């Protein structure tokens, strides 16, 4: 199944669980794309207690998951894209939602 995940929060446990889900879905044979929107673009810097979000993001990418980040949301935070989190557009989000058989939001 093709699964789209939209992450719109920087809350550590929620972001961590979103990526844990995405990793598990990949491990189960699904194709997964994650789009970071709003505060979700801050995910690469979230490390709080047991919630090492960048570690889960790397596990997702290492398994072939596609990760995109809203360019407008990044710029509004004076952030840039990275190798792990490339800058994307609203069109990319539209494409993700029309490509996916299921879309989950966190």
pTM equals 0.95
pLDDT in tens, 48-92: 999 999 999 999 999 999 999 999 999 999 998 888 888 999 999
| Domains defined along the chain, listed by start | 2-105 (3.40.1260.10)
Cα 80 to Cα 73: distance, rounded to the nearest angstrom: 10
SS3 31: strand
Six token digits for residue 48: 């709080």
Q: What is the mean pLDDT of residues 33-59?
A: 97
């Amino acid at each position: 199944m093709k699964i789209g995940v939209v992450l719109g929060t920087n809350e550590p446990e929620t972001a961590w669980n979103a990526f844990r889900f995405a990793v598990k879905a990949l491990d189960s044979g699904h194709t997964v794309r994650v789009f970071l929107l709003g505060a979700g673009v801050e995910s690469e810097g979230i490390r709080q207690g047991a919630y090492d979000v960048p570690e889960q993001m790397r596990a997702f990418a290492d398994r072939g998951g596609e990760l995109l980040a809203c360019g407008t949301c990044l710029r509004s935070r004076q952030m840039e894209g990275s190798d792990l989190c490339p800058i994307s557009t609203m069109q990319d989000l539209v494409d993700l939602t029309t490509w996916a058989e299921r879309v989950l939001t966190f």
